[in-house]
Amino acid sequence: MNRHVTVGLDDSTESHAAAAWAAREAASRGVALRVVHVEEWPITPEIPLTLTEALVERYETLLREAAERARRDHPGLDVTTEMVHGRAGAELTRAADEAEVMALGSRGLGGFVGFLVGSVSLAVVATSTRPVVLVRAERPGAEAGATESGAAAGGAGAAGAAEQASAGAEDAAAVGSPPDVVLGLDIAHPSDPLLDFAFGTAARRNLPLRVVHSWSPPASYGYAAILDPEIGTGLGRRAAEGLTELLRPWRSRFPEVRVVEKVVVGPAARELVHASRGAELLVVGRRGRRPALPHLGHVAHAVIHHSSAPVAVVPLA
């Protein structure tokens, strides 16, 4: 099968945003774009033929228009479309496993609530053997964000409102910064597929790569840190040195990519959600595959629900 990027398409705004992202990704990779729609309604004698024909026509039009937009935006791009019948999670996972990257739409609910990720998207992200990117639609940020943030602040009290106001100011500052690709990296569990995806994306899109490693001192260091504050400094220094050493061969392999290393203290999920503000893409890894029970680690799960940027989830094995 030819190399390609796949997008799962329906008639939602988020799905169209995912199609635009996938077309750009396919063009940057120099591969074909495959646009897939999964229809779950059953084909049975009980369903009137006129209704069946209307549904088929509706989604054929949806696929055709998406293909035309992709070709118009990226002249020369090879685009194919396909309508399949079956369970959406299973069919999209199968399509993802055959692609270099799968893109899916996810509904955005504002910076403080995050993505609304449906069961189908979660199933594909958690079980695919290939990278899956969740894309949200562009929305009038001030409108939706202010309304939803205000509602959340009302429940959180004055302290929550102050914290959200501060975060909102940070969001505004981040939006004014040049976009980059953010990679969440655990130096204790490095992954070539994860690093290759992040560096490759930054190189193809001519963007800086910001690599974030988050660490926390072991609980056993509590009393020792009180007696000797330099212990924490030493741990942080070793983490920074480990990150630099891990990235050294990748810097050599992708000399055109400007890499910014950042070592932070705190929960990884919180730090990555913070880092996603203003980013063009956030890249995280996922360990293992559980076909019978879709599963995500807590970091990936938190990030895909709360990142303000599209999220690429890359299987580590």
Q: What is the pLDDT of residue 221?
A: 53
Q: What is the pLDDT of residue 215?
A: 81
Q: What is the pLDDT of residue 274?
A: 92
Quick one: what percent of the chain has pLDDT higher than 90? 50
Ramachandran assignment for 30, one of left (phi > 0), alpha (psi -120 to 50 degrees), beta (any other):
left
Whole-structure pTM value: 0.80
Beta bridge partners of 134: 104, 311
Low-confidence ranges of the chain (pLDDT < 50): 109-113, 140-174, 223-230, 232, 291-293
Could you tell me if 316 and 191 are in contact, meaning their C-beta atoms sit under 8 angstroms apart? Answer: yes
> Which residues fall within 8 angstroms of residue 252, CB to CB, at 6 or more apart?
none
**Model pLDDT for residues 83-104, shown as the tens digit of each residue:** 998 889 999 999 999 999 999 9
**Cα distance between residue 308 and residue 94, in whole Å:** 28
Could you tell me if 22 and 103 are in contact, meaning their C-beta atoms sit under 8 angstroms apart? Answer: yes
Q: Which tokens belong to 140?
A: 């009038």
Type of residue numbered 25: E
**Model pLDDT for residues 1-47, shown as the tens digit of each residue:** 589 999 999 888 999 999 999 999 999 999 999 999 998 766 555 55
Pairing mode, strands 259-265 and 281-286:
unpaired
> Which residues fall within 8 angstroms of residue 205, CB to CB, at 6 or more apart?
28, 181, 280
